[in-house]
A and B are shown apart, each in its own frame.
Chain A
Amino acid sequence: MTLALIGEDFVRALLQGTPPGTVYALIGLGFVLTYKTSGVFNLAFGAQAYISAAMFFKARQEWGWGIVPAVVLSVFVIAPAIGLTLERLIFRNLRTASAVSKLVIAIGLSVALPALFELIADYKPVAGRTPTGIVPDGSSVFYDPTGVYPFSRDELAQIIVAGVGVILLGAMFRFTSMGLAMRGVVESPRMTELAGIPADRVSALAWAISSIFAGMAGVLIAPRLNTLISNDFFTLMVLAMAAAAVGRLVSLPGAFFGGMGLGWFIAVFNTYLPRWADDHTWLEPFKDNLTPSLPFVVLFGILVFWPAIRRAVDAADPLSGVDPPPPALAATTRHPLLTLQTRIFGVCFLGLVGWLGFTQADVRWIALLSTATVLSIIYLSITVITGFAGQISLCQGAFAAIGAFTVFQLVDRYDMSALTAALIGAAIAAVVGAIVALPVLKLGGVWLAIATLAFAFFFDAVIVKFSWVGGGESALFSGTQVPRPVIGPFDFGESDRAFLALAVIVLVIVSVAVIQLREGTIGQSLRALRSSEVAAESIGISPARARIVAFAVSAFIAGLGGAFLAMLEGDVNYPKNFSPVAAMFWLVLVVSLSARTVEGAIQAGAAFALFSPVILEGSFLEWLPYFNEDNLPGIFPISAKWRFVLFGLTAIQFARHPEGMLEFGKRRATQKRNDRYYARDAERAAAPEAAT
């Protein structure tokens, strides 16, 4: 191999990496623009790109539109319309909300928007129907100016369009007052308004522009994909996140060069890794696994090692004192009588459900109840990390999967008892959780969310593929089978009802532990950290230690829950249960109901397990006298996608009621009753005095 040959390969890799690099840069810029101007770390960006791409695809291939009208519709009408709608209906009201609550809403939207679009536009991804680009014959006509790498027309279009977008955006920030106003709005909308600048209009414009960028990027990147599926666009967005992270999410040039650099880096890596692997056999297993996950490794690496990010300090709004303080938990302000009533009702309700579950329920209902119970265990892990510690973790699915895979491996290889294996799995998850959290804990907030997201995708793309985790090829044939435990005379595999009882016992134990955690030193420390990190540190609380403990405990619970979910289903079912996107939906569900209480997690578990079969499939009507399985009204079954739409959109409530919808309703109801009881107490106290 001559030196000249290496040089030529290198140049070819760079040229090959340029077109995707410009698209990453385009999305990265849109990302930075939204973050800079609205403080929203817009995880729904991928969803927006997907919608534009799918709209373009539908207009071109199904309606037979020309290229220009299709681009106008998908990029310049639909995309900004979505952006403006989101800004007007959701993010405008949240401008002063915390970065974390905006993030949760963006996650909710990223779950809801693709499902909503597919329902409204009646779009179904069909395998093999490859999208086309914005120039005719984009993928079949090539130009080769350098003699090293032939660019397709599509690729040239990507470079040109993205380049023009970058220049226009740069010019706007450089030469108009709008750039300064946009930066002002994100730091303190109130102070910007004091300067006489309508903050609403500024941020609406920013949303429209960044949404056009997202739509453009979606349409440009689509020809690189075989089939238009929303998950691919989510992955694409994670790539762009790495680009944006290079510029600490706030620097436009940083995002641009980050995107280009990422495109080049991936291309160079893909060129050379197979060769190195030929020379060094130990690289062989990485060759197949590392390539698809490179973006996530890069993202995680940037977060951990990029010095600029450590220096990034969220600027606080000096006028945040204008906002009211967060309310206390409903249960802590309850009148004693009301507490008693609540508890009696709770015991009766649980007793009724328990009686029905253990004596009356058929197989289907026992399965549903078991799923709800096991999911509740997993959701308690979110209660700990998000509800108590106030941190967003997007890799709870990975932790749960660690628990599940551990049971699978230990039973499969060493014939270990399933229950012991579940505990070991939970412990491994806890260790992994602490290790993942360690390097990024100082960053906190949005950065922790990004890092955990990167880890979740890394786990998904690499770790699961290893045979010592996911079972490798043998799992393709026989699945990742997980048995249920046998304790003494009880074989929980024999009876679903017994397994339900076991799951309930575990849930109760975990619930008590979580409540203990909340009331104990760690819980108090976490609460103090949420109120004021500075004040908490000044009384000797170490934020890093408290959070690592919270992370480890949360991962432990997730691992345990994951193991039980695998035992319940008899198989790990990784793609269905634990994929990063599925786990994001968990988070959305829990925080939109109530992230700070144990009941909230259990209600979320019930909602996840029961909403689809009972409400959407219309089973609840069968409880009424007239209906039975065969005469349900024609609208049933409702598409299960509505579940994503509904719960995704309820996340919007998170900012207004960060305690969750149920907790909010509970507080309002409690307030009324409280007032009445306390008024009566006061009357009684006054009555004897009047008598004397």
Chain B
Amino acid sequence: MADTPLLELEDVTAEYGPFRALFGVSLTIHPGDAMALLGSNGAGKTTVARVASGLVDAATGAVRVDGVTMTREPTYRFAQAGIAHAPEGRSVFATFTVEENLVLYFRRSLGRKNVPAALDEAYTLFPRLGERRRQVAGTLSGGEQRMLSLARVLVEKPRLLIADELSLGLAPIIVDEVYETLTSIRSSGAALLIVEQHVQHALELCDHVALLDHGTIAWTGPSAEAADVVVDHLFETGSSS
């Protein structure tokens, strides 16, 4: 019997009020997998990421973590199971200082003793955050807020790291650093679920690709074969549908 998947979405639908965003999405991520979610705007990438971390409840279908059904469980259970999600945009506690933002996460995931070391690591990764550790996070620039929300998931070394719009708003040189860190996290055995606009970056990092189209999975497969399919889907919509 194959090892239990770390995360499994089975025939999941999800909706925001009257608006349905996902129509029967199935995904499997095993420990150590790195999957890139690709698709055009509004295809449902962010929603898949949200369902995977419990932020959005699946309306129908099942979500399993380590083979245990977690459908419609509260979000914190997902986090306690080792799934860390860096949502898109400026997802920081705006009234907290930079350090308080990190401390809130690290205390729970790493234990009180390990917080100072984790803070050092975060500030080494993003020196800019170290300079501004006492600054209120809401007054940081957009890029700095992205760094802050990434810093905690990168340092935490979760079992599954979900990053939405990973490189959006970051300077290219920082993007390279982030990808270096992700590569090292991967090599230490963590699984990744990445939503990324830089298709090239994503394909280099990940070994699997799931292509979303209008709320359904249009294609899954290894990254090596993905390039052609992706081009087909994104640019020649007429031929594929």
A residues apposed to B, CB below 8 Å: 177, 180-181, 183-184, 187-188, 190-200, 313, 315-316, 318-319, 322-325, 327
Contact = CB atoms under 8 A, between A and B. Distances in A.
A195 B106 CA distance: 8
Most buried by A among B53, B91, B103: B91
B96 A195 contact: no
A476 to B, nearest CB: 52
Contacts of B15: 324
Interface in B49-65: 50, 53-56
B56 A194 contact: no
Contacts of A177: 104, 107, 112
A318 B89 contact: yes
Interface string B84-120: 1101011111111000100111011100100000000
20 contacts: A180-B103, A184-B96, A187-B93, A187-B96, A191-B93, A193-B74, A194-B53, A194-B84, A194-B87, A195-B109, A196-B76, A196-B105, A197-B104, A197-B108, A198-B74, A318-B91, A318-B92, A322-B55, A323-B17, A324-B17
* The 6 nearest A-B residue pairs measured at CB: A324-B17, A196-B79, A193-B75, A193-B76, A315-B94, A318-B91
Given A180-B103, A318-B92, A195 B79 contact: yes
A322 B56 contact: yes
Contact of B109 (A187, A190, A196, A319): A196
Contacts of A325: 16-17
A200 B93 contact: no
Tell me the interface secondary structure of chain B in the complex.
mixed
B18 A324 contact: yes
Given A177-B107, A190-B55, 14 more contacts: A180-B100, A195-B79, A196-B108, A198-B74, A199-B76, A319-B55, A319-B91, A322-B55, A323-B17, A324-B15, A324-B18, A324-B19, A325-B16, A327-B18
A318 B90 contact: yes
Interface string B25-39: 000000000000000
A47 B100 CA distance: 35
A318 B96 contact: no
A313 B136 CA distance: 13
Nearest to B152: A195
B184 interface: no
B138 interface: yes
A129 B14 CA distance: 60
B181 interface: no
A194 B16 contact: no
Contacts of B56: 322
A194 B103 contact: no
Contacts of B54: 193
B15 to A, nearest CB: 8
Contacts of B109: 195-196
Contacts of A319: 55, 87, 91
Contact of A190 (B16, B75, B92, B104): B75
Contacts of B79: 193-197
A184 B75 contact: no
A197 B104 CA distance: 9
Interface of B: 15-19, 50, 53-56, 74-76, 79-80, 84-85, 87, 89-96, 100, 103-105, 107-109, 112, 138
Chain B CB within 10 A, most for which of A183, A315, A318, A323: A318
A200 B105 contact: no
A180 B99 CA distance: 11
A323 B56 CA distance: 9
Contacts of B18: 324, 327
A318 B90 CA distance: 7
A396 B18 CA distance: 36
B143 to A, nearest CB: 15
Nearest to B18: A324
B91 A200 contact: no
A187 B76 contact: no
A184 B105 CA distance: 10
A368 B109 CA distance: 64
B96 A198 contact: no
A196 B16 contact: no
A198 B55 contact: no
B91 A183 contact: no
A322 B85 CA distance: 14
A199 B79 CA distance: 12
Nearest to A177: B107
B87 A318 contact: yes
A319 B76 CA distance: 15
Contacts of A195: 76, 79, 104-105, 108-109
Contact of A197 (B17, B76, B90, B138): B76
Given A194-B53, A322-B55, A322-B56, A315 B95 contact: yes
Contacts of B112: 177
A198 B91 contact: no
A675 B24 CA distance: 25
Contact of B95 (A183, A192, A197, A199): A183
Contact of A194 (B19, B85, B107, B138): B85
Contacts of A200: 74
Given A187-B94, A318-B92, A324-B18, A198 B50 contact: no
Contacts of B19: 324
